[in-house]
Amino acid sequence: MRLVALGLSNGEIAERLVISPLTAKTHVARAIAKLDVRDRIQLVILAYESGLVRPGG
């Protein structure tokens, strides 16, 4: 979630993790579904509110 919170696209996340863009997209979509949020923005908000991601970190 940290990479999503940094504003990276699926392609950029894939490059950093050395996975395919489709795999990155799948992981993001599964996180959205499992955490019952609507989109990437809500995913990032949840990450900050729950302490999974910290500003500047």
Q: How high is the pLDDT of residue 57?
A: 64
DSSP states of 6-51:
TT--HHHHHHHHTS-HHHHHHHHHHHHHHTT-SSHHHHHHHHHHTT
Ordered structural domains, the chain, with CATH: 2-49 (1.10.10.10)
Q: How high is the pLDDT of residue 55?
A: 85
Dump pLDDT digits (tens) for 1-52.
999 999 999 999 999 999 999 999 999 999 999 999 999 999 999 999 999 9
Rounded Cα distance between 18 and 31, Å, is 19
pTM: 0.88
Residues 6+ apart with CB under 8 A from 1: 31, 43, 44, 47, 52, 53
